[in-house]
Amino acid sequence: MTEDLGTPVLDNHLHLDPRHGRGIEAVEEFVRLGGTHLLVVNKPSWLLGVEPDEPADFRAVFEETLETVAAATEALPGRAWPVLGVHPGLISRLVDERDFSPTEARDLMRGGLEVASEYVADGDALALKSGRPHYDVTDAVWEASNAVTRRAFELGAEVDCAVQLHTEATEDLTDLAAVAEEAGLDPSRVVKHYAAGELAGVTPSVMSDKDRLERAAEAVEPFLMETDFVDDPDRPGMVLGPKTVPRRVRWLLEEGYDEAVRRAHVETPRDVYGIDTEATLERSES
């Protein structure tokens, strides 16, 4: 029995790992509760066993993600899209464990983003993923991370796509909005994943707990909803499960936030990514 919530339901940021985790079974669970569309972000390279020495080494990570997205699309009444990039935490692994200097790490990560942008240019991926560590780092690592993020914005402007960011917990990213603007990328097409209910500067992808969602709904600003489901058997319960977005959409509708549901699942996805979650939805007519 599949629920029909009468609206597209998009989880804007999750990971799927058929090789180690629940994979398509998690997608089926999402669908059963009324979920329709997914933005699938590649797992951090090291969790897929890739320790890159050169930018081309990221291709294995990206290719595996594209395969997973194709399988997810088969299972969805709507579809899935890939978001490809380099996890900002990689810089610490390179610098602390593999003797890269911060500038060498920066160059490798920028190169990985350039490879990711080729997939976007070819129409095989929807958006890029970048950002900076959410934990304390040295000034050199912080600067290198900001330089990587700037490169992601430049590439987003070049290939005309949105950029999802992983950053420190904050409700003010006007500094990165200014960097995006300088790089030629509209800051509204920069999306902070794991966001609170409100965010200055860029578009929030709100973690789907009720308090955050209520704030986002009341704020009458563009927002997206996500779980950051990691699909990692070693980290169960780290984040929200795949059922969460459809469940919270049902709750928002019950609370009378129909307009906010439309904002998060139709209008903001259209404005940020240029995707149409209604036209890409096939429902059996009843």
Show the tokens assigned to 75.
Answer: 């299972």
CA 119 to CA 156: how far, in whole Å?
A: 12
User: Of 194 and 257, which has the nearer Cβ to Zn ion?
Assistant: 194
Backbone angles phi and psi of 174, in degrees to 5: -65, -25
User: Of 230 and 252, which has the nearer Cβ to Zn ion?
Assistant: 230
Q: What is the nearest approach in angstroms of Zn ion to the Cβ of residue 95? A: 21
Q: What is the nearest approach in angstroms of Zn ion to the Cβ of residue 282? A: 28
User: Of 15 and 260, which has the nearer Cβ to Zn ion?
Assistant: 15
Q: How many residues sit close enough to Zn ion to count as binding (CB under 5 A)?
A: 1
Q: What is the nearest approach in angstroms of Zn ion to the Cβ of residue 166? A: 7
**DSSP code of residue 170:** -
- Contact status: 231 vs Zn ion (CB under 5 A): no
Q: Select from 100-108, 212-220, 224-232, 272-280 the region that touches Zn ion (CB under 5 A).
A: 224-232
CA 226 to CA 244: how far, in whole Å?
A: 8
**DSSP code of residue 187:** G
Q: What is the nearest approach in angstroms of Zn ion to the Cβ of residue 164? A: 9
Which residues in 15-62 belong to E strands, given as ranges? 37-41
- Contact status: 226 vs Zn ion (CB under 5 A): no
User: Of 15 and 265, which has the nearer Cβ to Zn ion?
Assistant: 15
Q: How many CB atoms lie within 10 A of CB 79?
A: 19
Q: Select from 55-63, 104-112, 184-192, 228-236 the region that touches Zn ion (CB under 5 A).
A: 228-236
Q: Select from 94-102, 168-176, 204-212, 221-229 the region that touches Zn ion (CB under 5 A).
A: 221-229
110-149 footprint of Zn ion as x/- string (CB under 5 A):
----------------------------------------
User: Of 107 and 231, which has the nearer Cβ to Zn ion?
Assistant: 231
Across-strand partners of 279? none
Q: Select from 62-70, 108-116, 152-160, 225-233 the region that touches Zn ion (CB under 5 A).
A: 225-233
Cα atoms found within 13 Å of the Cα of residue 229, Cβ hemisphere only: 26
User: Of 107 and 228, which has the nearer Cβ to Zn ion?
Assistant: 228
Residue with tokens 């980290």: 235
User: Of 105 and 191, which has the nearer Cβ to Zn ion?
Assistant: 191
- Contact status: 228 vs Zn ion (CB under 5 A): yes
Show the tokens assigned to 172.
Answer: 């003010």
Nearest Cα residue to 62 out of 111, 4, 25 = 111
CA 50 to CA 227: how far, in whole Å?
A: 25
Q: What is the nearest approach in angstroms of Zn ion to the Cβ of residue 78? A: 20
Residues listed for the chain:
286
Nearest Cα residue to 109 out of 96, 122, 100 = 100
User: Of 239 and 260, which has the nearer Cβ to Zn ion?
Assistant: 239
Backbone angles phi and psi of 131, in degrees to 5: 130, -165
- Residues within the interface to Zn ion (CB under 5 A): 228
